[in-house]
A and B are shown apart, each in its own frame.
Chain A
Amino acid sequence: MRIAVASGKGGTGKTTVAVNLAYFNGIDLFDLDVEEPNDHIFIKGESKEETVYRKIPKIDEEKCDFCGICRDVCEYNAIVVLKDKAYTFPELCHSCGACSYFCPRNAIEEVDKPIGKIVEISSDIKLTYGLLEIGEAMPTPLMRAVKRKMGKKAIIDCPPGTSCPFVESVLDADVCILVCEPTPFSYHDLKLAMGVMKKLDKKFGVVINKHGLPFDIESKIQAPILGKIPFSREIAEKYSRGELLFDYEDLFKEIYDRAVSL
């Protein structure tokens, strides 16, 4: 079973839940927050890297007659064609391939652009994560490359938000754990994340982190509650030092069991 750990709001404890859940249940971990991956701070070991590329157009000006068809078929404004010059803007390109397909003079070749790397760490469990190149706007192609490494059993650490990167990270999960904290911000974003779960028809449950903060979120949540992690300065300090929560091993085993039987 693949379990995705997501939240909507950032900083509610996705990483804490994902790394401890994976470690204490002996399951391989995939960090799909490729913009800001952090699981490797907690799971250390020997690492192996590979670069990931996506396709971008390269216009051969010898063959190009500046007809402008490539510009017209590009929905992302990634190509500008002037009277005798053509420019591409790789950062806007979604690598759909339409420009090279429709070019009547066969003047567009698709070339590789590096967008980041996949790092695999061998430890007590295996951690695989993506690291997006700085300045690359779209995380989803790299996320897809990381997902291709995933087996049937996995814990997935998702990016924050509720838009395309979040959706990409939960698409192949069997079950989702939404991590929230008792604050009005987190409650607001939890509702948005639950909206995505319903839209995608995903099974999900909720983990309340920092339980004990002065805002009642528990009675407002209409979903199975899989566990509660107490609000404690000690846990926050352990997190700050990149340490696992050995005192809470039983809790993470319980959360896993409840998630699996959702």
Chain B
Amino acid sequence: MKQVTVISGKGGAGKTTVTAMFATLANAVVADCDVDAPNLHILLKPEIVETIPFEGMKKAKIIEEKCSQCGLCEDLCRFDAIKDFKIDEVRCEGCGFCYRACPEKAIEMVAEKRGEIYITKTKFGDFVYALLYPGEENSGKLVNEVRNIAKKIAEENGIDLLILDGAAGIGCPVIASLAGASIALVVAEPTLSGLNDMVRVIELARHFKIEPLVAINKFDLNLDVTAKIEEFCESNNIEIVGRIPFDEDIPKQIAQLKLPFKGKAGEEIVRIWKNLEEGWL
């Protein structure tokens, strides 16, 4: 199975705009792997077929009646999650150290629903997304589940392609969305921040031996930085698959939730997709 993961390092570079257009063009199962701030469903307007609960890590809970207040758990916890014989659920990382060490067996590990996965249909095809409840952790694990479900749906329907919209950053959810990727499409914006972040996310993709390709979004916003991006890509043997122009019609169409996008930016994304299909998939 082929897999395109769309990433950027920097948030707001245009991952979702690009992925949404791809969804309208490709015969693929699409998944939103930005599980703590998903946006793709807003544009794709899916009909939910099935909702699956996500439990994540179990977290520690002190059983008051059994607790002798010896304080061992507080001493052992590396996450400062225990104070005055109470667990701070936000800080607890679910390691279970306290639960195993407690001489009174006064700590239990409790599972709770920490998010939901949605299997859906859109007018463009199958789409999977998830929502981690605010403030929860383990987004990497949830991304894995989203990806596995998308893959299973693809297999069942004889579809040979997954398109994943990744999260911002270079941490666990991004790493999880790169697993199994045939290519990582890096959407870069020509700002010094965008360049800085692109370099780091390209390094991340290469660290996991995944071929990065670059699409420059709003390339005409700052032609000097666009030239720096091009220079970086050339000297690192990275292909630039497209240059999307700054187009004021894009925010207008997003505000009206109009998809596929029309106009010069939309047309360039169509060209980028054809480029990917012919050269890389």
Contact = CB atoms under 8 A, between A and B. Distances in A.
Nearest to A231: B251
Contacts of B139: 161, 163-164
Contact of B93 (A9, A96, A166): A96
Interface in A117-169: 132, 134-139, 159-167
Interface of B is mostly: loop
Interface residues of B, number: 66
A-B pairs with lowest CB-CB distance, top 3: A10-B11, A11-B12, A96-B95
B209 to A, nearest CB: 11
Q: How large is the interface on A (under 10, 10 to 19, 20 to 34, 35 or more residues)?
A: 35 or more
Interface of B: 9-13, 16, 34-37, 39, 42, 57-58, 76, 78-79, 90-91, 93-97, 100-101, 132-140, 167-173, 175, 189-194, 196-197, 200-201, 203-204, 207-208, 221-222, 224-225, 251-252, 254-255, 257
A230 B221 CA distance: 17
B172 A199 contact: no
A128 B212 CA distance: 31
B254 A162 contact: no
A185 B42 contact: yes
Contacts of A184: 42, 254-255, 257
A239 B255 contact: no
A10 B11 CA distance: 4
Given A35-B169, A36-B168, A135-B207, A188 B100 contact: no
A111 interface: no
19 contacts: A11-B12, A15-B193, A35-B168, A35-B171, A36-B193, A96-B78, A96-B93, A97-B78, A98-B95, A98-B97, A137-B171, A139-B171, A161-B167, A167-B137, A199-B134, A199-B135, A215-B254, A233-B221, A239-B191
B165 to A, nearest CB: 12
Contact of A101 (B97, B200, B203): B97
B153 to A, nearest CB: 24
Contacts of A241: 191-192, 222, 224-225
Contacts of A262: none
